[in-house]
């Protein structure tokens, strides 16, 4: 194993199963990996659960890391795949159902959404249906092309584009709904 991370000693200690080193590793990479789960899952508790399962895989796969690419990117890939797998498992249950009675505003100016804090962004993302939030997160936050999204989710590129467009409309509608007094600011 030839990790490029500066935490080589920490990684070796984790491979030996030292609990203190594992905790240090966990607390070191938690801030960078949890937002990935939050983008796809929204809810923090659910995101932490998925992240912990991903961390369990990481601890078991540290020995397999060959130093190809950045270490954090390797970790992010594992966490992202874990989140997507979690969403696929729950897709049958339709965890988040779109509120049929919700009235979608036509549009919300970008400048209003541009001023949102991260916590508000996550709250808005959490209200998106899974199939929309996944495409939105892959394209906006992870820089996936529609072709890559289509491959990742086993859908067509047209479906990917449609989902991205629908997610944008939905986010604007949510913002309008949760900020009724700010309609004049838009």
Partner 1 sequence: MINGYEETWRKRMADYAPEARNTDWDAMRQLLPPKRTGGRWWKAGLLILLIAVAVLMWVTQPSAAIPVTNFPVNGLPTDQHVGKYPASNAPSPAVSRLTPESNRAVFGKLSTSADTSFLAPIPRPAPAEVVRPPALAIAPLPGFSSAEAIISLHASTSLRDRVRQLRIALPAGGKSGTNGYYPPTRIRE
Which DSSP string corresponds to 42-102? --HHHHHHHHHHHHHHHHHHGGG----S-HHHHHHHHHHHHHHHHHHHHHTTTSS---TTP
Residues that bind partner 1 (CB under 8 A): 17, 19, 22-23, 26-27, 30-32, 34-35, 39, 48-49, 52-53, 55-56, 59, 110-111, 113-114, 116-118, 121, 139-141, 168
CB of 112 to partner 1, least distance (A): 8
Number of residues in the chain? 186
Decide whether 48 or 100 has the Cβ nearer to partner 1.
48
Decide whether 96 or 161 has the Cβ nearer to partner 1.
161
CB of 31 to partner 1, least distance (A): 3
The tokens 């203190």 sit on which residue? 20
- Provide the sign of the torsion angle of the four alpha carbons 146, 175, 49, 132, taken in this order: negative
CB of 38 to partner 1, least distance (A): 8
CB of 130 to partner 1, least distance (A): 18
């Amino acid at each position: 194993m030839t990790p490029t991370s500066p935490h080589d000693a920490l990684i070796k200690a984790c491979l030996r199963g030292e609990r203190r080193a594992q905790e240090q590793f966990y607390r070191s990479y938690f801030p960078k990996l949890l937002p990935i789960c939050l983008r796809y899952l929204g809810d923090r508790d659910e995101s932490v659960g998925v992240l912990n399962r991903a961390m369990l895989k990481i601890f078991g796969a540290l020995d397999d890391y060959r130093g190809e690419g950045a270490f954090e990117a390797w970790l992010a890939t594992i966490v992202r795949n874990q989140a997507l797998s979690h969403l696929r498992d729950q897709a049958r249950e339709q965890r988040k159902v779109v509120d049929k009675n919700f009235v979608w505003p036509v549009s919300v100016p970008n400048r209003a959404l541009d001023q949102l804090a991260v916590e508000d962004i996550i709250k808005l993302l959490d209200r998106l249906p899974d199939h929309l939030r996944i495409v939105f997160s892959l394209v906006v936050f992870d820089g996936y092309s529609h072709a890559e999204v289509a491959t990742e989710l086993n859908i067509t590129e047209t479906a990917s584009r449609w989902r991205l467009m629908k997610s944008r409309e939905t986010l604007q509608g949510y913002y309008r709904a949760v900020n009724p007094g700010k309609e004049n600011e838009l």
